[in-house]
Structure 1
């Protein structure tokens, strides 16, 4: 049943930014969570609705602080990826397809666990599924922060470490766009009358590299560059999107202050904008205590689970940064996130569902 559900979900492609596709998928989740006893709210956003589903507690902990489960239904893959390059495929216990690992497998694990605990005693549960996680959750950050208020602990359904360990902290992740407006002119007849936006952008990117070099444990990736149009025209516009990763919040603040304070080196207009930000989630004793409880829950269903830091960012950065005990990586085991060989180990769908159900019943 889990594999059939996952095939259905993978077959419904949900590229980030395709609001119609994401909202259609959200309709499916709304129906499913309602069937499982949840009360569902939708938070409209230009990139697609975010979902919040509340499940009442049962028994002695019915009025206790809830557990928060964080997930997303957008993927990095464009429409047609399933047909053209990554068809659904099952072979030797491995399932291939766009989104199986990041993170529709995690969505199936979550709803299966909810089904397994439907008649058991547990805390109230809150599920938040966002529509733009793959671009840093720019429209979902406020919703995640608001829904995290007062929860007992937070759990993410992103992929785990390769050996199945959970993620106990994450690097901060910030996307920045540098936009330059120069002045067009004929590149041969009037070169001095123009101001090259591309030359200015190159100088600014060199300046960014110098800023990064002054700090430890910072990753910087220039992901896109656009600008110009013809070699006989001095380019009048150019832009670059940059991804930064940070371990230390103080370093993050220093780097971002320096980058956003950049000034043009020629007669050009320069705009530096932060597109999205996920602050660094650092290790904490509270998360260590939560991991110990989860390890005990795992042993109750015949599993061993550990935890360690991760470099990738997700919505759990927000809850960890807010000081909420947080763990991530409850999705199935696999590999190839954001790659054409994306895959999961089929048997770990049921194993992870059993683990999550045990967490719900005991934490």
Structure 2
């Protein structure tokens, strides 16, 4: 049943920003969570609705602080990816398809675990599923912050490390857009009256590279560049989206301050905008203590659980940064996030269900 559910979810393609597709998928989740006993609240957003589902506790801890599970239903894949390049297939115990690893597998794991513990004693459980995680959750940050208040611990349903270890900290992640406005002119007849936005953008990207060379642990990826239109026209506009990764808040603050105070080299207009930000989630004693409890929960179902730092970012960055005991990586084991070979090991779906169920009932 769990594999069939995952196929159903993979078949429903949900690219970030496609509100129609995302809201249709949110309908499925809302119905599923309500059927499992949750009170479901929808948070409308222009780019796709977020969901909050609250499951009541049972037994002695019915009124205790809830466990928070964070997930997302958007993927990096466009509509048509399933048919054109990444058809669902299950071969030799491996499941292939868009979103099976990042992170519809994690969504299926959680709901199946909740089904299994429905008649057992446990704390209340809160689920927040956001619609724009793949672009940094710009519309969901306030929601995650609000729903994190008063929780006992937070867990992410993102993919684990390749060996199945959970994630105990994450680098910070910030998306920055550099926009240049120059002045168009004929590139041959009157080039001197033009101001090349593309030339200015190139110079600014070089300046950014020089900034990050001053720090040991900063990642910088220029993800998109746009600008210009014709080779006989001096380009009047250009832009680049840049992804930064930071190991600690102080480095993040210093680098972003330097980037935000860049000055134009020529008489162009330059604007720097932060599109999304996830602060660094650093190792903590609270998370170490939580991992110890999860290790014990894993042992109760015959599993060895480990934990390690991660460089990728997710919504758990925020809960970890807020000081909430946090672990991520409860999705199934696999590989190929954001790649055409995206896949999960089928047997680990049931293993992760058992682990999540044990966590819910043990904490």
Same fold? TM cut 0.5: yes
- Cα-to-partner distance string for 1:265-302 (whole Å, 9 max, x where unaligned): 11110000000000000000000000000000000000
Q: Does 1:311 align with 2:350?
A: no
Aligned to 1:106, the other structure's residue is in SS state: helix
Structure 1 residue 248 displacement after superposition: 1.1
Instruction: Say whether 1:51 aligns with 2:51.
Output: yes
Name the structure 1 match of 2:268.
268
Deviation, structure 1 residue 96: 0.3
**Aligned position for 1:92:** 92
Partner of 2:299: 299
Q: 2:361, 2:187 → 1: CA distance?
A: 70
- Count residues in correspondence: 363
Rounded to whole Å, the distance in 1 between the matches of 2:44 and 2:262 is 35
Which residue pairs with 2:137 in the alignment?
A: 137
Matched residue, 2:320: 320
Hey, what does 2:250 align to over in structure 1?
Answer: 250
Counterpart-to-counterpart distance in 1, 2:206 and 2:91: 47
Q: Deviations over 1:309-329 (max 9, x none)?
A: 000000000000000000000
Quote the Cα distance in structure 1 between the aligned partners of 2:146 and 2:348.
Answer: 32
| Structural mapping, 1:93-132, within 5 Å | 93-132=93-132
Asked if 1:337 is matched to 2:337, the reply is yes
Q: What CA distance in whole angstroms lies between the structure 1 residues aligned with 2:22 and 2:231?
A: 40
1:349, CA displacement in angstroms? 0.5
Corresponding residue of 2:219: 219
Are 1:70 and 2:67 an aligned pair? no
- Local SS of the residue matching 1:281: coil
2:174 is equivalent to residue 174 of structure 1? yes
1:229-244 correspondence runs (5 A)? 229-244=229-244
Residue pairs, 1:194-213, within 5 angstroms: 194-213=194-213
* Correspondence 1:11 to 2:11: yes
TM-score (norm 1): 1.00
Deviations 1:304-355 (A, max 9, x none): 0000000000000000000000000000000101100100000110100000
Q: Residues of 2 paired with 1:237 and 1:188: CA distance?
A: 18
What residue in structure 1 maps to residue 80 of structure 2?
80
User: Matches of 2:206 and 2:341 in 1, distance apart?
Assistant: 34
Q: Counterparts of 1:10-29 in structure 2 under 5 Å?
A: 10-29=10-29
- Give the SS at the match of 2:129: strand
Over aligned residue pairs, what C-alpha RMSD do you find? 0.5
Q: Secondary structure at the match of 1:312?
A: coil
Deviation (angstroms), 1:2: 0.1
Deviation at 1:46, TM superposition (A): 1.2
Gaps (5+ residues) in structure 1?
none
Structure 2: how far apart are the matches of 1:44 and 1:260? 31
Q: CA deviation at 1:63?
A: 1.0
Q: Displacement, 1:188?
A: 1.0
Distance across 1 between alignment mates of 2:149 and 2:216: 33
